[in-house]
Structure 1
Amino acid sequence: MFPSAPQTELAHWSPGHAAVALKDVVFYSFLKPWLGDGLLLSAGDKWSCHRRMLTPAFHFNILKPYMKIFNDSTNVMHAKWQRLILEGNTSLDMFEHVSLMTLDTLQKCVFSFDSNCQEKPSEYIAAILELSALVAKRNQQLLLHMDFLFHLTPDGRRFRKACRLVHDFTDAVIQERRRTLPEHGIDDFLQAKAKSKTLDFIDVLLLTKDEDGKTLSDEDIRAEADTFMFEGHDTTASGLSWILYNLAKHPEYQERCRQEVQELLRDRDPTEIEWDDLAQLPFLTMCIKESLRLHPPVTVIARCCTQDVVLSDGRVIPKGVICLISIFGIHHNPAVWQDPEVYDPFRFDPENIKDRSPLAFIPFSAGPRNCIGQTFAMSEMKVALALTLLRFRVLPDHAEPRRKPELILRAEGGLWLRVEPLRAGAR
């Protein structure tokens, strides 16, 4: 885990400072052979250009058709839960199940590929899970920060093998998709795909152009697709797992969320959450945000200052200094949040937000380099949580989980909860 930066200084950090802070090159370099020069790791003009080009990929018109995928992937997970419960397995590791669900979703949204990874082993999914674990492990072993030493180890060899597998998969999809692109009439092709609701992330990357009409190279497309697969599965799985934990610990809030969803769907077949429903779940949204405050999936971010940064008390962070910004520290700072260890969704009631600094709550980072996929992630979490509460009651397991910060905030030995199916129409 990264050490925390001083909380008193972080409370006054301003959005403008993000523009002069590059990502720290030490830890992020471990991801480079896997993720290339995608949005997470690139800097300067390349980052600015790609950020502008990729922003349309997360427009609500692109995200809306993904709602069916969110629903379908959650339904597959729930069907598996029902089978396990019938077999007597009422205690489930949320991280295990939710991670496979988010990876299933991403493969469909990014590649239009259904690996059925929630039901049977997938070589590609196993490689992504291994890469994430190896990077987290390497970060905790100081000697292996040196590339030449890491590559001599069995872990280094496994890392290179998994990278090749992931890259080969992404390259094959890109090449196949390029063959289907017409030489002319790209706009008509794009509109036809959008109408048939089959436009995925690879399509958007292939078709996007900068102000000069320049398209992304295959290498750039691979980097962005692999980055989205990495950043989109673990973080969302962590967020959703801890939300279920917090609602299991607070049954009164869980029941209020459930009633909100039931009320919304009372005149419909309650099997699918639609795009317009997402804005009609205010209390459920408050519960998600409070869980992201208490258990932020990304606990710390690193930035290297490209110029001197003057703090509000006059002290200066010199150019070239690497700053570790503790998201967990800000979210648990008693100077920023009263009773910070208490789970209280009403902190995010609109009345209570008005006078709060926008930088008091930064689960998706802040400033120009904030998370481009936060609407995607919030939408997926709302769908999965709403459907879960409609069908199941979640209860704490006997053992209290210990927080374990790796690449994302996990729980030692998994995050186990007891799950009870609800009868149709049961309150």
Structure 2
Amino acid sequence: MKRRRLAYCGFYTFAQPNFFILDPELSKRILSKDFQHFTDRCFFVNEEIDPFSAHLLSLKGSQWKLRRNKISPTFTSGKMKMMFETLLNCTKDLRVLMEDFAENYQIFNANEIFERFTIDIIGSCGFGIECNSLRDPNSEFTKYGKKALKEGAWHQFKMNVSIFAPNLFDSFRIPLNSPDVTRFFMNTVKETLRYREENNVVRKDFMHLMIQLKNNVKIENDDNIGELKSKDSGTAVSLTDQQIAAEAFLFFFAGFETSARTLTFCFYELASNMEIQEKLRTEIQNVLAKYGGRVTYDAVMEMTYMQKCISETLRKYPPIPGITRKCTERYKLPDTNVIIEKDVLIFVPISAFHHDPEYYPNPEKFDPERFSSENQFGRHQYAWLPFGEGPRACIGMRFAIMQVKVGLAALLQKYKFSVNSKTQIPFVFDPMHVFLTPKHGIWLNVEKIK
């Protein structure tokens, strides 16, 4: 279809019609300009059957608007800066582990290590719990965290049914999430809320901000992120314990795997391209020297080449290959006779845009300079969509980027990485995993810089 210069095409999944976008400009219109026609995602939501299905990612219509406006202020740059020290503390165990690998000439599976690292971060910042996954890979939090993703054919089938035939879940009262996973996270959140409220515990993390929302304390939106103007957006509705648990679960589910994969692929590319690794290390060391050798929020925000490396990693390896929207109001495509009827699913193929030589020449090459200001000029903004775009773009983008930056800064200033021969190249990606994942892991060598 692309070779025929078409901007869109269509297909069916069973009886469900789907509209597939082939043009970034049309993506911009659907995700942003004409968003009022495409406000919903296509995920299953039923708070009674599955309490953890009713979170910001899947809520629809006015429920989504209310929740988004309430939660948006918790993800501003000011709140990220507030959480930074809590996040940074999680790098201590990461550095201890890396020191051990280097001293004993051990290779390591980047997939596994960065999963455990980001579980520790999300557990600490999201739930106020020291998970210690880097010390104990079999910790309870790690066990249920990984089970939440439920790799395997049955879960993949359920995920597909929840998108293309969500009414079946309602009719047969089937929860998408495992009951034991729901119980674990629900009990964890409720116990954390109870302990903090009874003991007046204040901690610089996401859970503290959720407690403020529960108690109807207005959180300052210090940079107006995600402002949505609607007649009901100002309604004062506090969050219940169950709703807080659902949002904390989303924070965990969407935060640990995606950031772990980005770190994994970024370290793989740096280990495969030594000149890029050295250039990034030099930037890290030079910037940190200005801050007395300390990794601070301002320091990592100053690392511009690091941002280019992360952006290029997300281009080449977007955690999810595409995003969906549902047509909520009958829509006529501009300058055509094409009508998109209500309830048609819209697919925006992120991975296809990211690997299109029209926007990224030689797309399989890892080249951070694609994201220099000069090279970005003239390239369509919607040709890079790892976090989506428009009002329903990923609300946790800043936190995700901050996790990755801290991981890179903590390790690259003192360690050098190379690809071990155990890594299977080219990658075979796991078709049963929710996110883009190398089936056989990515194995790296590490040595300490003298």
TM-score range, shorter chain: 0.7 to 0.9
Question: Quick one: structure 1 residues 111 and 340, their matched pair in 2 at CA, closer, same or farther if it must change by over 3 Å?
Answer: same
Contact 1:301 1:327 in 2 (8 A): yes
| Contact 1:127 1:163 survives alignment (8 Å) | no
Q: Contact 2:52–2:177 (CA<8 Å) still a contact in 1?
A: no
| SS across alignment from 1:367 | coil
Distance 1:213 1:150, change over 3 A: closer
Residue of structure 2 aligned with 1:12, choices 12, 15, 26 = 26
Change (3 A) 1:105 1:142: closer
Matched residue pairs, number? Answer: 401
Tell me what 2:165 maps to.
none
Q: Secondary structure at the match of 1:65?
A: helix
> Alpha carbons of 1:114 and 1:143: their partners in 2 closer, same or farther (altered >3 Å)?
closer
Q: In the alignment, which residue of structure 2 is the partner of 1:320? A: 343
1:403 aligns to 2:429 (yes or no) = yes
- C-alpha contact (below 8 Å) 1:19/1:367 kept by paired residues: no
Q: Which amino acid aligns with 1:66?
A: M
Q: Tell me whether 1:297 sits opposite 2:319 in the alignment.
A: yes
For the structure 1 residues 158 and 230, does the alpha-carbon distance in structure 2 shift closer, same or farther, using more than 3 Å as the test?
closer
Cα deviation, residue 283, structure 1: 0.9
Q: 2:104 aligned with 1:99, yes or no?
A: no
Residue in structure 1 matched with residue 42 of structure 2 by the alignment: 24
**1:395/1:418 contact within 8 Å kept:** yes
For residue 290 of structure 1, report the CA deviation from its aligned partner: 0.7
- Structure-1 separation of matches of 2:65 and 2:54: 12
Deviation at 1:267, TM superposition (A): 4.9
- Deviation, 1:116, is 1.6
Which structure features the higher share of helix residues?
Answer: 1
Q: Which amino acid aligns with 1:387?
A: A
Conserved 8 A contact 2:148-2:253: no
TM-score by length of 1: 0.85
Instruction: Measure, in 2, the Cα distance between the counterparts of 1:341 and 1:373.
Output: 27
**CA deviation digits over 1:76-120, x for unaligned, max 9?**
11211222333342x211111111111101111122221222112
Deviation at 1:340, TM superposition (A): 1.9
TM-score of the pair, normalised by structure 2 = 0.81
- The secondary structure found in structure 2 opposite 1:42 is coil
**Stretch moving more, 399-408 or 95-104:** 399-408
Identity of aligned residues (%): 24
Corresponding residue for 2:126? 110
Which residue of the other structure, out of 359, 377, 383, is the alignment partner of 2:400?
A: 377
Aligned twin of 2:439: 412
Deviation at 1:371, TM superposition (A): 0.7
1:8-407 equivalence runs, <5 A? 8-10=22-24, 12-13=26-27, 14=29, 15-21=32-38, 22-25=40-43, 33=50, 35-89=52-106, 91-120=107-136, 121-134=138-151, 137-140=154-157, 159-180=178-199, 193=202, 198-208=203-213, 209=216, 211-270=234-293, 272-311=294-333, 314=336, 315-398=338-421, 399-400=424-425, 401-404=427-430, 406-407=433-434
Q: Do the aligned residues in 2 keep the contact of 1:5 with 1:326 (CA within 8 Å)? A: no
Cα separation, partners in 2 of 1:268 and 1:282, compared to 1, 3 Å: closer
Query: Residues 19 and 345 of structure 2 are in contact (CA less than 8 Å); yes or no, is this contact kept in structure 1?
Result: no
Determine if contact 1:396/1:418 at 8 Å carries over to the other structure. yes
How far apart are residue 157 of structure 1 and its match?
A: 12
Compared CA separation, residues 135 and 45, structure 1 to 2 (3 A) = farther
| Among 396, 411, 421, the residue aligned to 2:448 | 421
- The answer (yes or no) to whether the contact 2:21–2:346 under 8 Å persists in 1 is no
Q: 1:8 to 1:80 in 2, by over 3 A?
A: same
Shift of 1:180: 4.2
Secondary structure at the residue paired with 2:178? Answer: helix
Q: CA deviation at 1:132?
A: 0.6
Unaligned 5+ runs, structure 1: 182-188
Secondary structure of 1:372's match?
coil
Change (3 A) 1:147 1:216: closer
Structure 2 Cα separation of the partners of residues 150 and 233 of structure 1: 31
State the AA in 2 paired with 1:414. G
Unpaired runs of at least 5, structure 2 = 1-11, 163-167, 219-233
Q: Distance in 2 between the 1:10 and 1:349 partners? A: 20
